[in-house]
Amino acid sequence: MTTVRLNSADPLSVDTDALIVGFLPGQDGPVPAVSAESLESAFGGRLAASLRAVAFSGKPGELAKLPTFGAVAAPLLVAVGLGGSPGHEELRRAAGTAVRSLAGTSRAALALPAGTAEQAEAVALGALLGAYAFARYRTDGEQQAPVSELTVLSEQPADAAERAGVLAESVCLVRDLVNTPPSDLWPARFAEIAEQVGGKAGLSVEVLDDEQLRAGGYGGIVGVGQGSANPPRLVRLAYRHPEATKTLAFVGKGITFDSGGLSLKPSASMAWMKSDMGGAGAVLGALVGIARLGLPVNAVGYLCLAENLPSGTAQRPSDVLHSYSGKTVEVLDTDAEGRLVLMDGIARAAEDDPDLIVDVATLTGAQIVALGWRTAGVMANDDAVRELVVEAAGAAGEGAWGMPLPEELRRGLDSPVADIANLHPERWGGMLAAGIFLKEFVPDGVRWAHIDMAGPAFNKGEPHGYTPVGGTGAITRTLIGLAERHASI
C-alpha cells in the first residue's frame, strides 16, 4: 500500500530517498518548475548543464536520474520533463512516470507545480497511480516493491491528498479486478467482492443469482451466462445523498472471460479477454469513489456479470432471447455478447428513473480500429450528454471522443424471427452498430450515453505516464467526474 501526504518542506532539505523535480524546457536547458534558483545554486550552478549532458531537456515523458553527492538532502534526484505550460494531466503523467521508475525505493518526494489544490491533487494522484503494481501472483520476488511513502511538496491543505487517495484506490481496485485471472474472478466471486468493497464504502448492494435472473426475465444475462459452470449475476449498487437532486445510473459490461461462446474467438484474440469485465469494474470503482467522496448526487450502478463460454448448455447462434425490456433478440453471433448483457442492465437501470444512464463496456474490436488503444468512443441519444461525457473524460485525462449513432444502421439489425438481431451484416462501423443496438433498450425520454472502451481498458504495450501494463482502470475517474458535474450543491 502506497500512501501520499502533502508537506510544505523545502526540496533542498526534505528527508527522502529520492527527490523528484519537474522541469520545463528553457532556452539554456531544463529549468526546475519550482525552486529553480535554490536548486541550481545547491548544485553549484551545474544542474542544467548536467541534465543537458544526459540529453534531458524537460520535454514531457523525459526522465533522468542524477546522484546528488550531498548537494541536497536526498541522495537521488529524479528529473522529469513537464513540457511548456503543463496542465493537470501533464502533472499526473510526469508524477506517474517518475514514481514508476523508482520501484524498489521506499520514499520519494515530488517537487512539481503544486500551488493550487487541483495541482497538488494531480501530482498526488499521478504519483499514486504510478506506484501501482500487481504482484499478487509473483513468488519469484522478481518484481520490486513500489514506492510506499510519497510526499508532495505543497502548501495546500491535506484535502487534496485525501481526494487523490480516494480516486487512486478506486482506479487501483479496478486494475486489480481486471488483472485477476478468470480462474479467480468469476461472476459470483465478482459479486462477493462488490458486496464487500461496496458495503465498506457505505453502498447498499443487492445481488441477483442465476435463478433470480431467470425468474426476473433477464434473458440476455442468462443466455450469455448459460454456457459456463460459473453462473451469471446482476449486482445493483446504490448510493444516496440526502441533498441530492439528480440520480445517475451506470451500467457496466462484466464478462469475466469472453471466449466468444460457440462463435469461438481465435486463440490470439482470446488472450486478454479477462479484461472484458473492465466496464463493470469501472462502475464498481466509480460508485465506491462517489460514496467515499460523499458527492451530493444519487448514484446506482449495475454490474452485468457473466462468463461467455462454449459448452453443451451454451446459447447457440439462432437462439432467441427474451430481454428484460420485453423485446426479443435473435442471437446471430454469441461473441456479440456484451450488448446482450447490457440490454438487460440498461432496461433495469431505467426503472430507477435516473436523469442519465451511462453504460461502459469493452464492447467492440471496431472501437480499437476506429480510435486506437487509448481513446474510448462515446455515443449518446443527446448531443449535450455526449459532449458532457467527452468533457468529463478530457478533464480526467482519459481519452474519449464523440461518435455518431447513424440511424441508417438500424435496418441491418432487423431479424426475420425476432424484434432485433445482435449482429449487423456489415463489418464497417461495428462500434456504431453496437451503439444503435443498445439505444433500442433505452426507454423514450431517458438520456443515455454509451462508452466503448475496448482498447483503453487494458494496456498490452509498454507502461506510460501513470498507466501500467495490464488493467488500466480506464473511465473510472470519468464516471466520478460525471457525478461531480451532476452534484446539486
Residue 35: count of CB within 10 angstroms of its CB: 16
Q: Is 338 in the site for Zn ion (CB under 5 A)?
A: yes
444 contacts: CB under 8 Å, gap ≥ 6:
none
Cα–Cα distance between 389 and 391 in angstroms, integer? 5
Q: Which of 62, 89, 121, 258 binds Mn ion (CB under 5 A)?
A: 258
Q: Is 330 in the site for ligand BES (CB under 6 A)?
A: no
Q: Is 149 in the site for ligand BES (CB under 6 A)?
A: no
Cα–Cα distance between 246 and 258 in angstroms, integer? 35
Cβ distance to ligand BES smaller for residue 368 or 389: 368
Residue-level length of the chain: 489
In 3-state terms, what secondary structure has residue 193? helix
Q: Is 359 in the site for Zn ion (CB under 5 A)?
A: no
Cα–Cα distance between 141 and 134 in angstroms, integer? 12
Cα–Cα distance between 70 and 44 in angstroms, integer? 11
365 binds, among Zn ion, ligand BES, Mn ion, none (CB under 5 to 8 A by kind): ligand BES
Cell triple for 9: 518542506
Residue 123 and residue 89 in contact, taking contact as beta carbons nearer than 8 Å: no
Q: How many residues bind Zn ion (CB under 5 A)?
A: 4
Element (H, E) at 288: helix 278-293
Q: Which of 276, 344, 359, 440 binds ligand BES (CB under 6 A)?
A: 276
Residue 237 and residue 345 in contact, taking contact as beta carbons nearer than 8 Å: no
232 contacts: CB under 8 Å, gap ≥ 6:
187, 210, 213, 221, 222, 224, 225, 226, 305, 306, 307, 341
Cβ distance to Mn ion smaller for residue 330 or 335: 335
What is the closest distance, in whole angstroms, from the C-beta atom of residue 409 to Mn ion in the complex? Answer: 19
Binding mask 336-375 for ligand BES (x = CB under 6 A): xxx-----------------------xxxxx-x-------
Cβ distance to ligand BES smaller for residue 203 or 418: 418
CA gyration radius for the chain?
24
- Which of 163, 339, 348, 386 is an active site residue? 339
Q: Is 121 in the site for ligand BES (CB under 6 A)?
A: no
What is the closest distance, in whole angstroms, from the C-beta atom of residue 341 to Mn ion in the complex? Answer: 10
Q: Which of 258, 307, 330, 452 binds Zn ion (CB under 5 A)?
A: 258
Q: Is 335 in the site for Mn ion (CB under 5 A)?
A: yes
- Concerning whether 339 is annotated as a catalytic residue, the answer is yes
Cα–Cα distance between 4 and 277 in angstroms, integer? 29
366 binds, among ligand BES, Zn ion, Mn ion, none (CB under 5 to 8 A by kind): ligand BES
Footprint of ligand BES (CB under 6 A): 258, 276, 333, 335-338, 362-366, 368, 423, 430, 454
Report the catalytic residues.
265, 339
Q: Can you give the binding site for Mn ion, defined by CB under 5 A?
A: 258, 335, 337
